Amino acid sequence: MNMHTRGMLCFALTILLVLSIAGCASPEKTKADQRRPLHHYQLARAFFEAGKTTEALGQIHHSIELDPTLPQTHFYLGYIHISGDDWASAEGPLRRAVELNPYYTDARMYLAQCLDELGRPDDALMELVTGLKDRTYPHREKLHFNKAMIHDRQGNVAAALD
């Protein structure tokens, strides 16, 4: 082997070693892959906050396609639908967010609102009661208030005051 070939071989091995240490040559590119759905989720939020609902929906759907196990993406899809008073379309994503994370109490609260708007107050109350079981939720008064409002609309003043 001549000097030039040996030098090129050493250079190639050095590059391979550096890439291996950095994790670039390994088959696990999971960190980058895991960030991709969250990137689209953040884009969806930015588009929605800028009033670009169509673009936001496209980004959130893409995020869900990349990783359907992230509850926050399903929640945000439901939130976008609620913001447009599309209660029927909001129910599925909100329910999915709660299925993926039963302690996602914000999603459960929005699901209850959605169910109430769809004319299913008893189902809404069940979601709120389940949400109240989450003792770590910092805004439990919101759940109690929403329960009281549903009871009041049903004419059950005693339960509302309770």
With a cut of 80, say whether residue 145 has pLDDT above it: yes
Q: Find out whether 128 and 112 touch, Cβ atoms under 8 Å.
A: yes
Digit-coded pLDDT (tens) for 68-121: 999 999 999 999 999 999 999 999 999 999 999 999 999 999 999 999 999 999
| Number of Cβ atoms within 10 Å of the Cβ of 70 | 19
Tokens of 133: 């079981």
Determine which of 15-24, 103-112, 113-122, 132-141 has the lowest per-residue pLDDT on average.
15-24
In terms of C-beta density within 10 A (0-12 exposed, 13-18 middle, 19 or more buried), how is residue 49 classed? exposed
Percent share of the chain, pLDDT over 70: 79
With a cut of 50, say whether residue 150 has pLDDT above it: yes
If you average pLDDT over residues 8-12, what whole number do you get? 47
Query: What predicted TM-score, i.e. pTM, was given to this entire model?
Result: 0.76
Angle (CA) 44 50 53, round 5° = 55
Digit-coded pLDDT (tens) for 39-78: 999 999 999 999 999 999 999 999 999 999 999 999 999 9
